[in-house]
Chains A and B, each alone.
Chain A
Amino acid sequence: MVHDRPEIRVALAGNANVGKSLIFNQLTGMSQIIGNWPGKTVMKAEGHFVYKDFKIQMIDLPGIYSLSTYSLEEIVSREHIALEKPDIVVNVVDSTVLERNLFFTLQLLELGRPLVLVLNLTDQAEKKGISINSDKLEEILGVPVIKTIARTGSGITELVKKIIELNEQTLMPPIIKYGKEIEQEINHVSQLIQDHGLEYPTRWLAIKILENDTEIIKILTENDKRLTKKILPHTKELEDIHGEPYDLVMTSEKYSIANRIAQSVITVQKPAKRPLMKNFEKISTHPVWGIAIMLLIILSIFLGIFAFSNFISSFLDDFVFIGIEPAIQWLTAIIANFAPLFTVPITISGQLIWAGVESFLGGITIVLPFIVPFYILLAVLEDSGYLTRIAFLMDNVMHRVGLHGKAFIPMILGYGCNVPGCIACQIMETRRERLIAAFVTTLIPCAAVSVVVLGLLSPYGVLGFSWAVFIYIFNLAIVFILGRIAFKTIPGEPSGLIMEMHPYRVPSTSVVLKQTWFRSKGFIYRAFPFIILVGVIVKLLEILSILPYVQLFLSPITVLWLGLPIEVGILLVLGFLRKELILVELAVLLPAVTVLPLIQAITLSVVTMFYIPCVATIAVIAREFGYKKAIYMTMVEISFAIFLGGIFFRVLTFVFFLI
């Protein structure tokens, strides 16, 4: 009976882009729960499956290159393996780059859990002329080795059988030994820490102490100050003797071992020539043609998404609204008939509820058809490897803002919607860079802003269009200037680009869909509550007739400084909630004015573009960086936008006067 046996707890570990997630998807399929590690912004994927009598619970750890303290992903992974002590660790390895992957394998073995090595991407290895003797590898390493091609599912069943088999054996994994001297040191430190009741595996802990691992030292010090006082001078002495940090010494040793193993199990033949691929590689990273291709691809993506989303939008619109709206009105009418006393409160609450529902539906029909294809195309670019080429091409330019090539991606996303743009800032490695990237992204005009700007200026034909183009270019210049200022004022050091470059690959459907689902879910959870809240608030303001007072209150800014009609006050408040509302409400509040005078159109465009991202974006920033920074950013951008708007108004008036 399935329920009689305990579950086998498995952790999937390996470098990024080795096909780990594919294997995970194939095994756990629909049972997957994707969320975050508690309290951290690192994706956690769990799932389970049954094979014969066995139930296997699996966690897909993030793709990482090492088990150091370089990133949160690394720390989360090693904590999980060291403390949760999964029954089996499945180490998925890229057969085309065995040596570096083996380095990670050696690190994993140090954590002392039974391990199965999976040689994935065997088809790719074959194409490169690489063949690996898995029996020999199994013999040398002392762990079972399975060859797989995750894409086709080949070898997956063998893997599952091996997991079950290994679990039954309850064999401890082999200990890979370093040189004599280092082993002596490890033993020495192990003895010192042995009886302190620490949950981490002793040998691993000893190695980390020797490597001066900051996290471990911190944990040890919290646990027992005297212990660290005893050990640390010893490790310092070792470093002085060796002349370099112990971490580097250990790393070198591990790589020597990995190298020796790789050499003895790999045989290379001449690979098949792929001139087409080679040429495309060259062109896509060419300083001139590469950028041209990139712009072309980005442009097509945007146009494609706009066209597609418009189509789906109108389709959903008819579908949703034709049915529901009359139904609610009918319902309200009935209640009004039967309980006239309750009419007013019911009408009001009915109106508010309807506003909420309407916003929610609006979110689904307008926002989702736009966001989901966006995420799909992003996942495709990511999985195919093209994003690394983009980072390569843009690294130079991004340095001017103190960021590196990867930061270009959130910016591109920002042109579609600031919410995924800001979320994408997570790909930066340090907190500081995430903040700068987020700040820069919020200055980028999203699709809603573009709709407003074009709506304001298109009545002016070619002239209007030229002004629109000018404003966009001006925006880009300001983005770089403000980005640079942020770079100088936020404390900390910039880090440089270090990124693995994979050969182009055909993106896998399951990985793309999974990523899209995870990100769309994230977007819905973060943005939708605000979209609904906004709708209700707007309705409330309308019902309570507060709006004229708001207008009046803001008039010194809107009329005197910005030279805009007094109604703009409300527009700005609404725009804070959702940018498109500026255009929508403009038509509502100023029905007599079909077109704003050119100067006003330009000024309003500029203000709209800069003044703050919508509430949903601010919510994302608050979640990532805290409320203080979010509020600060908001204040800075509002002031800046209004200041800029006023300048534009005066300069333009002057210039037009001259003409």
Chain B
Amino acid sequence: MGCLTPLVLLMEKEIVENYIKMIYILAQDKYVKIKDLIEILEKDEVNGELQDTLDSLTNKNLISIDDLGIILTGKGLELAKRIYQKHELFESFLKRTLELDENQAHEESERLEHYISDELVNKLQAYLEKNGDFSERNTLVPLTWLKEGEQGKVHGISGGWRVVQRLNHLGLTKGTPVHIIRTSPFGGPLEVGVRGSHYVLGYGVAGKVMIEVDLNGT
């Protein structure tokens, strides 16, 4: 269709990809409760758009919904990872190379992540690596993605107020370094070190903590 893609289709693509990305950030390949999704999308109730979008996502085979919640399908997971990586890469580029401030870089990436082609992304990555501008590649991951011995900084905590406040009061404020002391298999709890204290966090709780990881050396 060239450059005359109907506006409606473009907007739908954006909405779809945003939802998928949000679900991915919340729970990767696990279940997300609808209320958690509502909270993170900052919507006040389950209004028409939410329901329509969820239906559309189900029809496109990107998610499936049952009474445990919403979960990404294999196809949805792939799409989410791609969008997420594009966003992260582009945001880093804008911040470090073009020196936009954090908020602006984030806003622009939010818009552009849906339209950058994979080819452009690869070229961009190669360029940045070659030019050494990309000295620090920071990605945002949930705490549960880290392995024993790895560390990062707290970026934010999603979830209900009780959990967010509790974790904050225990020291997991924005920018605080966290390191993983111990993990356990099959979705078991994690033992983490924060400000000199050790905490055990259930897997679900840990998944709500978003961490900024420095991928180049630790």
- In this complex, what residue of A is CB-closest to B67? A488
Encode B185-209 as 1/0 by CB contact (under 8 A) with A: 1111101001111111111110000
Contact of B191 among A68, A96, A501 (CB under 8 A): A501
Q: Does A497 have its Cβ within 8 Å of any Cβ on chain B?
A: yes
Q: Which residues of B contact A (CB under 8 A)?
A: 160-171, 173-174, 176, 182, 184-189, 191, 194-205
A99-B195, A100-B195, A405-B189 as given contacts; A497 in contact with B170, CB under 8 Å: no
Contact B160 A493 (CB under 8 A): yes
- A263 and B49 CA atoms in complex are apart in Å by 50
Q: Which one of A246-254, A476-484, A535-543 is at the B interface?
A: A246-254
Min Cβ gap A467→B in Å is 32
Stretch of A163-171, A372-380, A389-397, A642-650 on the interface side: A389-397
> Which residues 491-506 of A have a CB within 8 angstroms of B?
493, 495-502
Q: Known contacts A252-B173, A255-B176; is A285 also within 8 Å of B191 by CB?
A: yes
Q: Which residues of A contact B198 (CB under 8 A)?
A: 500-502
User: By CB atoms of chain B within 10 A, which of A255, A285, A496 has the most?
Assistant: A496
Q: Can you identify 27 A-B contacts, CB atoms within 8 angstroms?
A: A97-B195, A97-B197, A100-B171, A100-B195, A248-B173, A251-B173, A259-B195, A391-B200, A392-B189, A395-B189, A395-B202, A395-B203, A396-B187, A396-B188, A399-B202, A405-B202, A493-B160, A495-B162, A495-B163, A496-B163, A496-B203, A497-B201, A498-B167, A498-B205, A499-B200, A500-B200, A502-B198
- Residues in A with CB closer than 8 Å to B202 are 395, 399, 404-405, 496-498
Do the beta carbons of A498 and B165 come within 8 Å of each other?
Answer: no
Q: Which residue of A lies closest to B189 (CB)?
A: A395
Give B35 Cβ to nearest chain A Cβ, in Å: 9
Majority DSSP secondary structure for residues of A touching B: helix
Chain B: CB-nearest residue to A101: B197
Instruction: Return chain B residues, CB-CB under 8 Å to A54.
Output: none
A405 to chain B, nearest CB (A): 7
B191 to chain A: which residues have CB within 8 Å? 285, 392, 501
Which residues on A sit within 8 Å (CB–CB) of B204?
A: 399, 496
Q: Which residues of B contact A285 (CB under 8 A)?
A: 182, 184, 191
Q: Which of A252, A393, A495, A496 contacts B174 (CB 8 A)?
A: A252
What separation, in Å, do the CA atoms of A404 and B197 have in the docked complex? 21
A interface residues, tally (CB under 8 Å): 37
Is residue A309 within 8 Å, beta carbon to beta carbon, of the partner chain? no
Known contacts A392-B189, A405-B189: A96-B165 contact under CB 8 Å:
no
Q: Which of B164, B166, B199 has the most CB of A within 10 A?
A: B166
By beta carbon, the residue of chain B nearest A286 is B184
Contacts of A399 in B (CB 8 A): 187, 202, 204
- Nearest chain-B residue to A488 (Cβ)? B67
CA distance A399 to B205 in the complex (A): 12
Instruction: Assess A251 versus B168: contact at CB under 8 Å? Given A391-B200, A497-B189, A499-B200.
Output: yes
Say yes or no: is A518 at the interface (Cβ < 8 Å to chain B): no
Question: Please, how many angstroms separate the alpha-carbon atoms of A245 and B156 in the complex?
Answer: 12
Nearest A residue to B208 via CB reads A496
Closest residue of B by beta carbon distance from A128: B196
Interface flag for A388 (CB, 8 Å) = yes
Contact A103 B199 (CB under 8 A): no
Residue A65 at the chain B interface, CB threshold 8 Å: yes
Q: Which residues of B contact A502 (CB under 8 A)?
A: 198
Residues from chain B with Cβ under 8 Å of A68 in the complex: 165, 169
- Of chain B, the residue at the smallest CB distance from A15 is B197
Chain A, residues 84-117, CB within 8 Å of chain B (1/0): the string is: 0000000000001111100100000000000000
Residue in B169, B184, B196 whose CB lies within 8 Å of A396:
B184
Please give, as numbers and ranges, the residues of chain A lying within 8 Å of B195 by CB-CB distance: 97, 99-100, 255, 259
A614 to chain B: closest CB distance in Å? Answer: 33
Contact assessment for B173 and A255 in the assembled complex, using a CB-CB cutoff below 8 Å? yes
Expressed in whole angstroms, the Cα–Cα distance for A392 and B206 within the complex equals 14
User: Which residues of chain B are near A98, meaning CB under 8 Å?
Assistant: 196
Contact of B169 among A65, A287, A392, A393 (CB under 8 A): A65
A70 interface residue per 8 A CB criterion: yes
- The CA of A103 and the CA of B168, in the complex, are separated in Å by 11
In chain A, positions 376-419 with a C-beta closer than 8 Å to chain B are 388, 391-393, 395-396, 399, 404-405
Bound CA span A405–B199, Å: 14
List 6 tightest A-B contacts by C-beta distance, closest first. A496-B205, A497-B202, A496-B202, A66-B169, A501-B198, A396-B188
| Residues in A neighbouring B188, C-beta threshold 8 A | 287, 392, 395-396
Contact A498 B170 (CB under 8 A): yes
Residue of B whose beta carbon sits closest to that of A259: B195
Interfacial chain B residues near A393, Cβ < 8 Å: 184
A16 to chain B, nearest CB (A): 12
Residues in B whose Cβ lies below 8 Å from that of A66? 166, 169-170
Contact A392 B168 (CB under 8 A): no
By the criterion CB–CB under 8 Å, are A496 and B201 in contact? Answer: yes
Closest B residue to A102 by beta carbon equals B195
- Contacts A248-B174, A285-B182 aside, 7 further interface pairs with beta carbons under 8 A come to A97-B196, A248-B165, A395-B188, A396-B184, A496-B205, A500-B198, A501-B200
